[in-house]
Homo-oligomer: A and B are copies of this chain.
Amino acid sequence: MRLKDIGEFGLIKRFRDKIKTDNSVVKGSGDDCAVLKLDKDNYQLFTCDMIIEGVDFKKTVDPALVGRKALAISISDISACAGIPRHAVVSLGLPLAMPVSRVDRLAKGLFSLAKKYRINIVGGDISSADKLIIDVSMLGVVEKKNLCLRSGAKTGDIIMVTGSLGGSIKGKHLKFEPRLKEARYLVNNFKINSMIDISDGLLQDLSHILEQSSAGAVMYEKLIPLSREARGVDDALSSGEEFELLLTASRDQANRIIKSSKYRFTPIGEIMPKAFGLRTINYKNEYSRIKSRGFKHF
């Protein structure tokens, strides 16, 4: 049996089943970040994301964008748990023939974004590699009362999304702004029941929320905010690396959030009982039952 036979999520499940953790761990594998006990009022968040040349970016891309992306992905994970990013370490695999000027560009992209978000780069590891590899591990902090997980969605919750979706591959995946301000605004002013960032695709990431929350959902395709780059609603449903926030809150909270108009939050559906499954309602008002679609590494 090869990896492609069991798939990325099959493999992750295979690992997860082997893991035991002690009571210092509030939430281990299975959310955007691991959640660890920190002090009376706060949890620590811990996440890692690896990007590889030829898989997550093309060899010809400006290394400044690659360095930026590597850090931004982890900031997005911390944001999805409603935390504040604080510290990061960076492992680099560098091809021997890489010009130093390109490494400097990479560092510039990474350090500029770190400075913007006040993240301390506190260490790293450098190795030679055939292709450029960057792995960022990040620590963040979140007030216990503000922690958002995938697992809190409740029947009747309104599903909302930040920004617009689709066509990330045309450039957004390298230039997105992680939704940190939006996430902090949400938890500081409203009660959010569940949240995730859209890295695998809207349908797939919604499926993650539903699975962790033991819930179903209905989603209205005509409500999904399409980006200018989207090739239609199917693209918006499956486009990975959008790094928008997908969240749920009670109808009452959702009304207040949507009216607040400080940032763009668009309601796109509703959480249903688990037995309902995940269904979309298309432009012709037809139901269709969904199996998750989106980006998988294999």
Which residues of A pack against B, CB within 8 Å?
A: 1-6, 8, 11-12, 14-15, 18-22, 24-25, 28-29, 33-34, 36, 39, 46-52, 54-56, 86-87, 89-101, 103-104, 107, 111, 115, 118, 120-131, 133, 135, 137, 139, 297-298
Decide: A122 and B89 in contact? CB cutoff 8 A.
Answer: no
Q: Is B99 within 8 A of A1, CB to CB?
A: yes
Complex CA–CA separation, A55 to B126 (angstroms)? 12
A46 nearest CB across to chain B (Å): 6
Evaluate contact between B46 and A123: CB separation under 8 angstroms.
Answer: yes
In the bound complex, do residue A51 and residue B127 qualify as a contact, i.e. CB atoms below 8 Å apart?
yes
Q: How many protomers of this protein does the assembly include? A: 2
* A2 and B89 contacting across the interface, CB-CB below 8 Å: no
Q: Taking each of A3, A51, A137, which has the highest tally of chain B beta carbons within 10 Å of its own beta carbon? A: A137
- A97: B residues at CB distance < 8 A: 2-3
CA–CA, A91 and B56, complex, Å: 14
A5 touches B52 (CB 8 A): no
Q: Looking across the interface, which residue of chain B has its beta carbon closest to that of A29?
A: B123
Residues from chain B with a CB closer than 8 A to the CB of A5 are: 100
State the Cβ distance, A274 to closest chain B Cβ, in Å.
25
For residue A22, which residues in chain B have a CB less than 8 angstroms away from its CB?
Answer: 118, 120
CB distance from A18 to the nearest CB of B (A): 5
Given A8-B126, A18-B111, A55-B129, 16 new contacts (CB under 8 A): A1-B100, A2-B96, A2-B99, A3-B95, A3-B103, A11-B94, A14-B100, A22-B120, A24-B120, A28-B121, A33-B123, A39-B39, A46-B89, A48-B137, A50-B91, A129-B133
